[in-house]
Structure 1
Amino acid sequence: MTQLPFKIKPLIKELARLEDGIGENYLSTRVKEYFDLTAKERDNLIKVLKDVRKKAKDTKRHKNRESECSYFVDEEGYTCRLTQKEGYPIPVKLANIVARIGKQIIEDDGLDEKWFYQISGKKKDLSLPLIEVPASYFSSMNWLCKWGAGVIIEPGSSSKDFLRHEIQVNSCPSTEHVYTHTGWRKKDDTWIYLTASGAIGDEKIKVKLPKELERYALPLEPLNEKEAITASLEFIDIGKQSITIPLLSNVYLSSLTSLIKPMPNFVPYLYGPTGTFKTTIAFAGLSHFGEFEADKLSSFEDTANSLEKRAFILKDVLMLLDDFHPSSRYADAQIKEGIAQRIIRSSSNRTGRSRLNADSTEKGRYEPHGILMITGEEMPSVQSTLARVLLIPIGNGDIEKEKLTTSQQKSTLLPHAMSSFIHWVRNDIDNIQKQFPKEFQKLRQKAVQTETLDHLKLCEQVAFQQYAINLITDWAEQKNAMSKMEVNDLREKAWEVFIENAENLQVRLKLEDPVEQLQEIVMTLLFQGKIALKEKDTTASTMYANYLGDADSELLGYYDDEHVYFMPTALWNSVQKFCSSDGRHFPVKSNTLYRMMRDKGLLFTRGKENTTTERICGESRRLLVVKKEFVMSDEKERGDI
């Protein structure tokens, strides 16, 4: 037994190299080879060996784990780690800075939640500026470049990963939820209204808007309520009420956008020549949501994508898109027209473009939930887009400059008026949401019954605006800023204004009808002698034939006592040339135009085709057969062509 200590060591080393779960038979065999022991002594030794082996393996695992996770900062300010080499700890430098995640921020835009890390850093004795890093970007460690070229990661394929691990295991970040949009949100069964200054309804809520939108900021508690409400209502008196009443109505309606169903389905459009204070009065309306600068408004110089994203962020507020004006270059005009068409349709239809993630799964859409207001010297050219516009014409002299100046001097009161309105709505929000569908249907039906409006969208425009005026006057009366008589007078006047504006837009819509435009173009070209229509029954051998228009001009088709027979290609080419020379484009494609003519009963067809086969000068041709009145409706007034 004196040799026992010397013979146990090689046996333990051998056991340490073997896998766990070694059987009793193997140990017994090995012990017999080394020692001359009784059975009882052998069993005791086997038990001892097992305990020694287990403790050795546990110690090794602990040392490995300790070496992997043991980090420290050396005297030079380097983040370092300890590694093991031949059983000895060796320090390894990772980087010449120390960084910690102080806060993890959840940014909530109402559609997605994005995580960000707020990271502080220190380079020896120098504090580095706070930076925010998207959580998905953190593990790359490329964000270190924000601290400049002086931040150095030591060579080695694993240095970045160990540094990332060190930062995460040694950071104890707090968590902060931040909203990145304006407007209404329901949090824990409580309604709050968000702007850059915080949340009306919960002062602890934090809001973060893009820098260019930080001016959307309402006071969390209104001051001088009655004075502020009066200043807001005085806006009605700065000019023609056909302009000011719709503007004020839409300012307050915008704050209700996401609360009411259906949402407003139009875009207010201030339309008039330069020098009529379009932008100034629109800016006064916008000032209900904060203190803005006129030179920092959204414009048609911005891209369509940026405007769509901005309209998504600006929920339940007014967004102003300024200055849709003529362009000297055709390409610039087309770009502006395209932006106008897209943003008007998006805002009125409450739709956004589909987007995809990197893995081709679908993202949410940036749908607008506020009201977009546009100012411009021109109008969009497509009838279907114009139907989505609430047109507010403005001319020279319509705004009284002195009253406008007085109103501007009180602009700092307007955010307090809006804050008061938001508080008032918030206290009765459930009832407002419950009653709105009934009130809206009642007002829309009243507009339909005027019998002067035959376009349902225009009746809905009237109903939305009148509902807002009714709500505004209820609020003002309860705050003792209006008497009952003033309330009734304003409601009656507003209804007259909304109906009149809708009737004027209806007339414009009819003028913008593509079929009406085609008729006007053909009649103009005939009158100018630029096209001709030949009598249908004239044979090819006839020396003299009757023509409508100049016989030496371009032949567009034929006519008889009942119909005009247009050659489709010739007709469409003439329309395109006319529009090009007039600096515009025809609003629809040829097939859409012909379908619209069929729907109006102007196009004679056999079957599903737009054209029919006719015999002309002994030949069969596919022609558009139109009632003669389409071209000759004003013949008696114009005289013989």
Structure 2
Amino acid sequence: MSMAINREELIKLYEEIGLNVLDNNTVMNSSNKKICNFLVNVIEQRVIDGKMYLCINALGINGEVLPEVILDSHTINRPTWVTDNFGFKYSIDKKYINDFIELIQHLCMNIKTKYIYDHTGWIYQDNKWIYLHGGGVIGGSNVQVELDESIDNYVLPDKISDINKACEMSLKLVDLMEDDKGIIFSSLVYLSPLIEIISRKTKPPENIVWTYGKTGSRKTAVSKVVLSHFGDFNKKIPATFNDTITAIELKANKLKDSLYLCDDFAPKQEYRDKKIQDSKAESIIRMYGDRVGKGRSSNKLDIKDAKRPRGMILITGEDLVCGESSNARLLSIELNRNSVDLNILTELQNNSHLLGEAMRGYIEWLLCGMENIDELSNILLYNFKSYRDEIREQYKDDIHGRTIESSAWILVGFSCMLNYIRDKGVIDKYEDDEYMDRAIKVVERLIEEQIKLISRNSPIDIFLNTLKESINSKSIRIATLNDQNQVIEDKLEYICGYKDKEYYYFYTDKVYSFIEFENKKRGIHLGISQRQLVKQLRDSGIVKVDSNNDSPKKTIHTKDASDSTGYTTIRPRMLQIERSIIENFQI
């Protein structure tokens, strides 16, 4: 509903700059020329996510209140906005558009400015840091937050009823799952509001926590409880794999310094559907793993700012996405029916409002240090480097660099949570140390599992495993050579290679196509080209090479009844792999 307008007071403002208003609300300039045939009224200025807008309404010819209109600096100079919003009987004379702009500027002299944001997280306004959420702002005023409908439940409580009770409830998340896996989720929760602070001095964390398990493992129920630190997610969650990648990306940008959930990476029966879902997963992983957004241009071919992710993310699914590169960016947590303590889960679900209070208390606690944000950032960076260097020293070259950094950030987030809870008197120094020891042990177990997971998903392992299974099941056709390199079989249609007592010899094109085809049926993709695969096989010493680091030629005698010897000789270059490498291979 449009705001009421006091016509008499508005006319006085017009007269202050020499304008005259007729009975039908037509506005005349000092030369008695018509500027417009409505009485414009400025309600307020609005700064929406850093960009200035003007909110106006107007009185029409018969004194009716015309609709509220939001205009930016470009639109207001184009008179067509009048017809678009008020109808065809209203207009501004193009020759006097400057007079109209002067009127607008005069009306703006004493109006309020309202700040409106469409994202969560930290912003710097009026010389201080404040934190935005769907219900308003922590640490400031004169700010309004208008989130998209899909994420408007990111709302923190207005007040804290009992900070000790709230922190105790949040701490129960640590014990929610077997083997202290709940620590990873607690770390993720309390790391999320630190992204702005960390980004002041270094690249933000590139962690992606992926929880997976079969239906009934309660992965979604657990994820909702984790997310309850940031709002009420009983009725809706921010994203699923049914969303478009563009929608997922835009919400990742809006959920600044918050935790984002993308739910339900589920098996697909159709190969095309699986490819689409895998593509989304890989895009999300690279989005957060590299902290980049998709490049875009406007209709004028101007480069737009990329919508990079500005918080942390939790992904759930029935399985993991395939690929060594993708899995190197993940911290994966497998759940089964016995992984979750149902009593703790029920308690957390029934007291989810306390988790929100714990997060509000955490934001207020962080606010105390935000005046010296660079110092706070230096402390977090120092802790990260300390944990990172310790992990690197322990595992040397046995671990992917991304896993080292992700594990270190997990310890930073958990340490920050313990500092907060200890500062509130919920735990003492002895308990703090005990919790930190548990965190270090669970991270070590996570690293060991991650090393195995990345290995299982490497292109070389997929290649060798598929070869071994195909040879054992006789689904791949391989001809046999005797001691004189003569093929003993009569029919050679569709073969991929040969074998003797020591080696398998494969046609590169044929075996690559066969492996791709077999894995496509299983929903697995090598993720690298034929050339890259052969290079990795050579670099790993799995295939034999000649002096030029190329596949050596192999002399083979194939049966040929037209030849006097009964054989024809060929010398193709082939991938030569010792039989023992394939036959003894284990994932």
For the aligned pair, the TM-score class normalised by the smaller chain equals 0.7 to 0.9
Post-superposition Cα deviations, 1:605-627, rounded to whole Å, max 9, x if no partner, equal: 34777544443333332322334
Q: Quick one: which amino acid aligns to residue 55 of structure 2?
A: Q
Q: Is the 8 A contact 2:35 2:96 kept in 1?
A: no
| 1:478 maps to 2:423 | yes
**Could you tell me whether the CA contact under 8 Å between 2:230 and 2:258 is conserved in 1?**
yes
Distance in 1, Cα, partners of 2:248 & 2:353: 27
Of the three residues 500, 517, 522, the one matched with 1:577 is: 517
1:191 is the counterpart of 2:129: yes
In the alignment, the residues of structure 1 paired with residue 124 and residue 332 of structure 2 have an alpha-carbon distance, to the nearest angstrom, of: 34
Deviations, residues 154-211 of structure 1 (Å, cap 9, x unaligned):
6x98489589547636632544444433222344653332223343332344444333
Q: How does 1:248-397 map to 2 (within 5 A)?
A: 248-260=186-198, 261-397=202-338
2:496 pairs, out of 551, 556, 560, with 556
Q: CA deviation at 1:538?
A: 6.8
Quick check: 1:105–1:178 contact (8 Å CA) kept in 2? yes
| Post-superposition CA distance 1:530-549 (Å, at most 9, x none) | 22333457779x5x6289xx
- The alpha-carbon deviation at position 281 of structure 1 amounts to 1.5
Matches within 5 A, 1:482-501: 482-501=427-446
The residue that corresponds to 1:104 in the other structure is 45
Match of 1:517 in 2: 462
2:540 maps to 1:600: yes
Change (3 A) 1:603 1:408: same
Number of the residue aligned with 1:434: 378
The DSSP-based 3-state class of the residue aligned with 1:564 is strand
Displacement of 1:423 in angstroms is: 2.3
Residue 567 (structure 1) aligned to one of 491, 497, 507: 507
Is 1:240 the counterpart of 2:178? The answer is yes
**2:552 and 2:574 in contact (8 A); partners too:** yes
Distance 2:498 2:556 in 1: 8
**Which of 468, 487, 492 in structure 1 is aligned with 2:413?**
468
Distance 2:216 2:453 in 1: 23
Change over 3 Å in CA distance of 1:587–1:437 after alignment to 2: same
Residue of structure 2 aligned with 1:128, choices 55, 66, 75: 66
SS at match of 1:256: helix
Q: Which amino acid aligns with 2:465?
A: E
Contact 1:283-1:294 within 8 A present in 2 as well: no
Seen in structure 2, the aligned counterparts of structure 1 residues 587 and 605 have a Cα distance that, compared at 3 Å, is same
2:495 & 2:96 partners in 1: Cα distance? Answer: 78
Q: 2:55 pairs with 102, 113, 118, which one?
A: 118
- Shift in alpha-carbon separation, 1:546–1:100, aligned structure 2, 3 A: same
- Does the 8 Å contact 1:298/1:322 carry over to 2? yes
Paired residue secondary structure (1:257)? helix
Name the residue aligned to 2:8.
none
1:479 Cα offset (Å):
0.8
**SS of equivalent residue, structure 1 residue 120:** strand
Amino acid at match of 2:52: W
Change (3 A) 1:608 1:193: farther
Q: Which amino acid aligns with 2:382?
A: K
Shift of 1:390: 1.0
Q: Structure 2: how far apart are the matches of 1:127 and 1:241? A: 65
Q: Give, in angstroms, the shift of residue 503 of structure 1.
A: 1.3
Structure 2 CA distance, aligned partners of 1:203 and 1:285? 28
Residue 76 of structure 1 is aligned with which of 3, 11, 24? 24
TM, length-normalised to structure 1: 0.78
May I ask how many residue pairs the two structures share in their alignment? 550
Aligned with 2:123: secondary structure? Answer: strand
* 2:504/2:576 contact within 8 Å kept: yes
Q: 3-state DSSP class of the match of 1:185?
A: strand
Which deviates further from its counterpart, 254-263 or 190-199? 190-199
SS of 2:555's partner is strand
Map 1:149-160 → 2, pairs under 5 A:
149=87, 152-153=89-90, 158=94
Shift of 1:258: 2.6
Tell me the amino acid that sits aligned with residue 464 of structure 2: Q
* Contact 1:184–1:194 under 8 Å retained in 2: yes
Shift of 1:279: 1.4
C-alpha distance in 2 between matches for 1:370 and 1:82: 53
- Structure 1 residues 574, 279: CA separation in 2 closer, same or farther (over 3 Å shift)? same
Per the alignment, do residues 489 and 202 of structure 1 end up closer, same or farther by CA in structure 2, a change over 3 Å counting? same
Structure 2 gap ranges (5+) = 1-16, 558-568
The question of whether the paired residues in 2 share the 8 Å contact of 1:610 and 1:624 is answered with no
User: In structure 1, how many angstroms separate the alpha carbons of the residues matched to 2:322 and 2:556?
Assistant: 37
Partner of 1:168: 104
2:269 and 2:302 map into 1 onto residues whose CA distance is: 42
Q: Distance in 2 between matches of 1:74 and 1:327?
A: 69
Q: In 1, Cα distance between the equivalents of 2:522 and 2:416?
A: 46
625-634 or 510-519: which moved more?
625-634
Distance 1:558 1:129, change over 3 A: same
Conserved in 2, the CA contact under 8 Å of 1:267 and 1:348? Answer: yes
Deviation at 1:600, TM superposition (A): 1.2
Tell me the distance in 1 between the aligned counterparts of 2:206 and 2:35. Answer: 62
- Describe the SS at the equivalent of 1:302: coil
For the residue of structure 2 that corresponds to 1:121, the secondary structure is strand
Higher relative contact order (CA 8 A, sep 6+): 2
Q: 1:629 aligns with which of 575, 580, 584?
A: 580
Deviations 1:507-527 (A, max 9, x none): 121111111111111111111
- 1:370 Cα shift? 0.8
**1:444 partner amino acid:** R
Asked whether the equivalents of residues 54 and 72 of structure 2 are also in contact (C-alpha less than 8 Å), the reply is yes
Deviation of 1:375 (Å): 1.0
Shift of 1:413: 1.7
TM-score (norm 2): 0.84
Cα 1:398/1:143, change in 2 over 3 Å = farther
Distance 1:610 1:220 in 2: 69
Contact 2:228 2:352 (C-alpha < 8 Å) held by counterparts? yes
**Does the Cα contact within 8 Å between 1:228 and 1:414 map onto a contact in 2?**
yes
Q: Contact 1:318–1:373 (CA<8 Å) still a contact in 2?
A: yes
Q: Is the 8 A contact 1:537 1:616 kept in 2?
A: no
CA shift in 2, pair 1:516/1:491, >3 Å: same
- Aligned equivalents of 2:468, 2:493: Cα separation in 1: 14
Letter in 2 for 1:625: Q
SS at match of 1:531: coil
Q: CA 1:514–1:279 in 2, change beyond 3 Å: closer, same or farther?
A: same
| Inter-partner Cα distance in structure 1 for 2:142 and 2:102 | 33
Secondary structure of 1:294 counterpart: coil
Label 1:106 to 1:279 Cα distance change in 2 as closer, same or farther (>3 A): same
**Cα distance change on mapping 1:630 and 1:146 into 2, 3 Å:** farther
Partner of 2:388: 444
| Counterpart in the other structure of 2:488 | 545
Which structure has the larger Rg?
A: 1
Verify the 8 A CA contact 1:94 1:163 in the aligned structure 2: no
1:562 CA displacement: 4.9
Letter in 2 for 1:593: L
Q: CA RMSD in A?
A: 3.2
Q: % of aligned pairs identical?
A: 24
1:99, 1:326 → 2: CA distance? Answer: 58
Give 1:567 shift: 0.7
Q: CA deviation at 1:82?
A: 6.0
Q: Distance in 2 between the 1:301 and 1:514 partners?
A: 28
